[in-house]
Structure 1
Amino acid sequence: MPTLRLLSAAALLTLAASASASSFLVTTDAIVGALKATSDLTSDATGSLRNNKIVREARDDAASFVASEGAIRGVKLESAFDAIRQQAPQLQASDAQLAQAILAI
C-alpha cells in the first residue's frame, strides 16, 4: 500500500508540474504577443510621424515648449500636435509627451 501511495503522489506531482509549465508557456506567449502588437503600433506611428514635414518642422517649437515646461507654445508645435492626433488617434499622450517625442524623432 505505501508503494501505491508513493507512485500516486509522484504521478500527481508530475501532472501538476506539467500543467504549471504549460500555463507558464501560455501566459508568456500572451505577454510576448501583446508587447509585439504594442511595439508594432508604436513603430508604425513613429515611423510615419518621422516622415511628416509638419512634425519635423516643429522641433524648435517643441524644444522651447519642453524647456519652458509648457509656457511657450509655438504655432508649428500646435500644428504638429493636431497632425499627430489626427494621424494616430489611438495615442493617448499629453502635450508634454508629444513634444518630447517630437524631439526624439
Structure 2
Amino acid sequence: MHLKKTLFASFLTLGMAGSACASSLVATTDTLLGAVAASAEALSDATSSLRDSKVVRAARDDAASFVASAGAIRGVRLEAALALIRGHAPELANTGDLQLAQAILSQ
C-alpha cells in the first residue's frame, strides 16, 4: 500500500511540474506575441501617413519579396520607400528593414 501512495505522489508531482512548465511557456509566448503586435502597431501608426504615397504603394511587391526571402531580395522600389519612411519618421531610424517592409505590406 505504501508503494501505491509513493507512486501516486510521484505522478501527482510530475503532473503539477508539467503543468507549471506549460503555463510558463504559454505566458512567455503571450508576452512575446504581445510585444510583436505592439511593435507592428507602432510601425503601422508611424507609416499610416505615408499610405497614399506613390513610392510606398509601388514598393509593395518588392516588400513582399523581401519579407518572403527573409531579406535576401532587395528591390529598388523598396529601398526608395524605406528611405522615404525614415526621412518622414526619424523615430523609425533604428527600425529594421524587415519590420518596415512588413508595415508596408500591412497598409
TM-score (norm. length: structure 1) = 0.66
**Structure with bigger gyration radius:** 1
* Among candidates 52, 63, 70, match of residue 56 of structure 1: 52
**Structure 2 residue 84 is matched with structure 1 residue 80:** yes
Q: Secondary structure at the match of 1:82?
A: helix
Distance of aligned partners of 1:90 and 1:32 in 2 relative to their CA distance in 1, 3 Å threshold: farther
Tell me the TM-score normalised to structure 2 length.
0.65
Query: Alpha-carbon deviation of 1:83?
Result: 2.8
Q: Deviations over 1:31-74 (max 9, x none)?
A: 1111101111111111221124xx632235425x73xx725679
Which blocks of at least 5 consecutive residues in structure 2 are unaligned? Answer: 63-73
What code does the residue aligned with 2:37 have?
A: S
- For CA contacts below 8 A with separation 6 or more, give which structure has more relative contact order: 2
Deviation at 1:17, TM superposition (A): 0.2
Counting aligned pairs with the same residue, the percent is: 11
Q: CA RMSD in A?
A: 3.2
* SS of the residue 1:37 aligns to: helix
Give the total of aligned pairs: 95
Structure 1 spans left out of the alignment, 5+ residues: none
Matched with 2:66 is: none
1:92 to 79, 90, 96: 96
Deviations for 1:4-35, whole angstroms, at most 9, x for unmatched residues? Answer: 01110111100110111011101110111111
